[in-house]
Amino acid sequence: MVHVEEQTLIAVDKSQIVEKSADFFKQGFRLVAITCAAKDSFELTYSFDKDYKVTNLRVVLPKVDPVLPSITSAYFAAFTYENELKDLFGINVTGLALDFKGNFYKLSMKTPFAPQPQPPVK
Amino acid sequence: MAQMSIAKVVAKWALSRPATRLYPFQKRPSYKNTRGSISIEMDKCILCGICQKKCPTQAIIVTKATKDWQINRLRCIACNACVEACPKKCLIMENMYSPAVVVKGEDDKFHQADKPKAEVAQ
Amino acid sequence: MATRTVIPFGPQHPVLPEPIHLDLVLEDERVVEAIPSIGFIHRGLEKLVEKKDFYEMTYVAERICGICSFIHGQSYCQAIEGVMKIDVPERALFLRTIWGEMSRIHSHLLWLGLFADGFGFESLFMHSWRVREKLLDIIEETTGGRVIFGSAKIGGVRRDIENLTLNRVQDELKKIEKQSQELTDVFKKDSSVIRRTKGVGILTKEDAIALGAVGPTLRGSGVSSDMRKLGYAAYPKLNWEPAVETGCDCYSRCMVRCRELYMSFDMIYQAIAKIPEGPIDVKVTGNPTGEYFARVEQPRGEVIYYVKGNGSKNLERFRVRTPTFANVPPLVKMLGGCELADVPVIVLTIDPCISCTER
């Protein structure tokens, strides 16, 4: 018996992400994770859960100069995921409720997971 | 009284044998399945090199020209991948750990001796 | 207006099992706010997919954390099996369940010991770890290692347990269950435990859902949500219900974990009675293509594994969101307004596993 969970994936534009998350919050969804895959462009996946069913929203950002609005106005818990996006991938997230300005993850190399990582700070 | 619940446990163990073992005078017996360290029966080995490819930490080095098989004891994580992959079943997982060292020495080398001609004729 | 001082908590502290840094802003012994920062144990394991193929990543996934090691390996195998649509045999599913529940018992016994040490009850700490030693011996006898099991494999499990061994394991587990009954009685009734944990670290039900809490932190606030109900491994065939308490404080989270301990013992006995005969693995061919999210219940909460493959031997992206990472915002909320002496108890009540958080 193959156990495969149903995966619903909806593609959204980055300007709609804030109002869609506020909509989910009113319906009682729980924020599960914000995942990022970086190769030719940044692919972000926002996962929300209600009653054991998960819904994914997909946002695609260009490789050069990526800017993203924050969803901490609806989900305050997203500050950990968005600070991690800033520190590891170098994505510019605007409007964060709790901004660590690059000090959340203390690493010797800035943005190690980005397509062009910078050399370690001496 | 609410303190009596822990007093019962403490009193029982204070009056019976200690739960700890007086190591190094009493050593701990190993089980049959314990993954301790790797040993090889060099006569059966055909020097194919499959164990070298399957090792996740590159701890095994096989040199076909000089008929040598060596293993770096500090890199080996005792994962059992080489034992399962060997086609001639000449690798064995012993259940005793390799002894601790204070200096990083050389690898453990095993050499396959040439078969004497009299035995081959029979 | 009282003066404010900033005190650093961690990364080295006698009560923390792993390094995390918190800046506590204090006003005369009362904590006003707490600012977390992580990064002391970041090993960059997600970037290793570029070098190791997807078979060898099983070994890496098992070594993300020492306490929840088997369930990390199981979740990785489930994620790859979901992408490649592999059918795992029944006996392997039951064996995975048995080892997963043993892993959960050992993790909860370890946590009970650390929690008792957090408020100074050292003899209870030592007795909890004495009971756990017997369980580690059983695990070594069946898998070969005390902490890193090495049994997870894509398509099944790597070694089998014979039925005679399973019956002997059941008898030993009954003895361990009786000994842990004495310990949980102390946690439930002892007056010093109740004084230190009741009313401390309140997290209301609305806050728990809004801040994304998972695991016993969520179930201690009255929300019934346990990922084992999703139906992976052999859980649909066993008879159980999630453990929920409505106290919303540290005492109810402790009670949730004690109840889960007994639920795990019961689930192992049911699985041993129902385990079928058959093969333990299936041959896997080909490379993974596509993406998949796998969700599994770890002892600390819900873990989500994301894998993305593009048809070659190396995966394109591998991402783990562990439960302690999701429990950091509730921790920051619970620390606002508490006394300085309650900080270790509140930090330990979310069961921090920082090496999972930072991979």
| CB contact at 8 A, C77 and C152 | yes
Q: What is the pLDDT of residue C105?
A: 92
Q: Name the band, by pLDDT with cuts 50, 70 and 90, for residue C109.
A: very high
Q: What's the whole-model pTM score?
A: 0.88
Q: Cis check for the bond before B24: say yes or no (omega within 30 of 0).
A: yes
Asked if the Cβ–Cβ distance from C182 to B8 is below 8 Å, we say yes
Q: How many CB pairs under 8 A join A and C?
A: 93
ipTM rounded to 2 decimals: 0.83
The boundaries of the domain holding residue C164 are 42-324
- List pLDDT tens digits, range C223-257: 888 888 887 888 888 888 888 888 888 899 999 99
- pLDDT string in tens for chain B (122-residue length): 556 777 888 888 888 888 788 888 888 878 888 888 888 888 888 888 888 888 888 888 888 888 888 888 888 888 888 888 888 888 888 888 877 778 777 777 777 766 655 444 44
| C281 domain residue, yes or no | yes
Tokens 């300005």 sit at which residue?
A: A101
Mean pLDDT of C25-38: 86
Q: What CATH number was assigned to the domain covering residues A8-94? A: 3.30.460.80
Instruction: Pick A112 or C113 by higher pLDDT.
Output: C113
| C35 domain residue, yes or no | no
Among residues A25, A76, A18, A19, the alpha carbon closest in space to that of A50 is found at A25
Asked if the Cβ–Cβ distance from A103 to C306 is below 8 Å, we say no
Report the sign of the C-alpha dihedral through residues C57, C58, C63, C68, in that order. positive
Q: What is the pLDDT of residue B121?
A: 45
Q: Is A52 on the interface with C (CB under 8 A)?
A: yes
List of residues 6+ apart from C139 with CB closer than 8 A: C99, C102, C106, C145, C146, C149
Report the sign of the C-alpha dihedral through residues C352, C295, A99, C210, in that order. negative
H or E element: which one contains B52? Answer: helix B50-54
Chain C residue with CA closest to A49: the answer is C212
Q: Name the band, by pLDDT with cuts 50, 70 and 90, for residue C174.
A: very high
Asked if the Cβ–Cβ distance from C150 to B80 is below 8 Å, we say yes
Statement: residue A119 has pLDDT above 60: no
Q: How far is CA C5 from the centre of its chain?
A: 35
Q: What subunits touch chain A, counting only 3 or more CB pairs under 8 A?
A: C
| C275 domain residue, yes or no | yes
- List pLDDT tens digits, range C117-127: 888 888 888 88
Asked if the Cβ–Cβ distance from C145 to B9 is below 8 Å, we say no
List of domains in chain B: 31-98+105-113 (3.30.70.3270)
Best A1, A25, A80 member to test C by mutation, with max C CBs in 10 Å, is A80
Q: Domains in chain C: how many in total?
A: 1
Q: Name the band, by pLDDT with cuts 50, 70 and 90, for residue C1.
A: low
CATH code for the domain of C291: 1.10.645.10
Statement: residue C31 has pLDDT above 70: yes
Q: Can you give the residue ranges of every domain in chain A? A: 8-94
Asked if the Cβ–Cβ distance from C141 to B33 is below 8 Å, we say yes
Distance from CA of C319 to the nearest CA of A (A): 7
| C26 domain residue, yes or no | no
Distance from CA of C149 to the nearest CA of B (A): 9
Q: Name the band, by pLDDT with cuts 50, 70 and 90, for residue C108.
A: very high
Statement: residue C300 has pLDDT above 60: yes
Q: What is the pLDDT of residue B2?
A: 57
Q: Is C205 on the interface with A (CB under 8 A)?
A: no
